[in-house]
Amino acid sequence: RVEPWNVTLVDTGDSSMTGGRLKRVAEYVKDDEAFLFTYGDGVADLDIKATIDFHKAHGKKATLTATFPPGRFGALDIQAGQVRSFQEKPKGDGAMINGGFFVLNPSVIDLIDNDATTWEQEPLMTLAQQGELMAFEHPGFWQPMDTLRDKVYLEGLWEKGKAPWKTWE
């Protein structure tokens, strides 16, 4: 399957924050109806087409992917000191988080002041307060790669041919 994607790699500098990095790519997306943005430090089996379709359908300025973080430890159900059940690494505490994949209208870049702006702070909070931020709920696989432990885990899945995020042939 071939998709009509344009991918542009932009050196946004070492010192710019997430918002500043987004602002630095404005010239490449200014004429687009919407564009995709990710932090690049996580993987998921996200249905990109469904995420874009969701964004187009709601008509708001921004869509973030909401997902459940992976649990780090096994969870115990204990009653009167007796372990009743054990679940190995359940998905977090049940609260969804920002999964770091976005569909955005170019106008959101106007909410970013400069390189020091953190996307997750004022811009996202402003969009939420304005009712312009929607969440595409992704219940599937999502894993950050923030630590050496994460890296080893993800590389192990890849090497075994069991990488859920590999959705292409």
Q: What's the pLDDT band for 151 if we cut at 50, 70, 90?
A: very high
pLDDT of residue 29: 93
Indicate the Cα dihedral angle 118, 99, 41, 129, nearest 10°. Answer: -10
pLDDT of residue 94: 67
pTM of the model: 0.84
Return the CATH number of 18-159, one of 3.90.550.10, 3.40.50.1370, 3.40.50.1100, 3.30.1330.10.
3.90.550.10
Domain ranges of the chain: 18-159
pLDDT digits (tens, 9 = 90+) for 74-84: 666 767 767 77
Question: Is the per-residue pLDDT at 73 higher than 70?
Answer: no
Report the b/e string of 105-114 with b at 16+ CB within 10 A.
bbebbebbee
> How far from the centroid of its chain's Cα atoms is residue 79's Cα?
37
